[in-house]
Amino acid sequence: MQTLWCSCCARIYRSNLLKAIDYQAVEKQRTGNFYYLHEQLKGNNRLNLTIPFGAYMYPFYCETGAVVSKALQVRNIYIPLSGLMCLSSATLVHWNMTMQ
């Protein structure tokens, strides 16, 4: 038997579900992940980065970006398209990301 929810009940459910998330812990974990990746990759990353709080991804830029992206995808490692950048024929292809 399937239960149908009205939009009001669904809104309350989502609200309660979001209240269960410890956002400070999430921010701390994401910042730690960013720091770890930065320590491992900063020597190969052509971007000059500062460590933000709660970053959802690590922006990595290298001339072989397309090859690196494909290798990560083959290993089922998620790559957000908003951070995907590659250099091809000296043209930077840049999707929805601001560079500082």
Structural domain boundaries, residue 43: 25-94
- Inside any domain, residue 12: no
- Averaged pLDDT of the chain: 74
- Inside any domain, residue 80: yes
What integer is the mean pLDDT of 37-57?
88
The amino acid at 38: H
- In this structure, the number of other CB atoms found within 10 A of the CB of residue 16 comes to 9
- Inside any domain, residue 17: no
CA distance 42 to 49: 8
Cα 98–Cα 35–Cα 74 angle in degrees, nearest 5: 75
pTM exceeds 0.75: no
- Inside any domain, residue 66: yes
How many domains in the chain? Answer: 1
99 pLDDT more than 60: no
88 pLDDT more than 90: no
Beta carbons of 30 and 54 less than 8 angstroms apart: yes
What integer is the mean pLDDT of 86-98?
38
Q: Which residues of 65-100 are buried (b: 16+ CB within 10 A; e: fewer)?
A: beebbeeeeeeeeeeeeebbbbeeeeeeeeeeeeee
- Inside any domain, residue 5: no
35 pLDDT more than 90: yes
What integer is the mean pLDDT of 24-42?
92
What integer is the mean pLDDT of 25-42?
92
Beta carbons of 82 and 96 less than 8 angstroms apart: yes
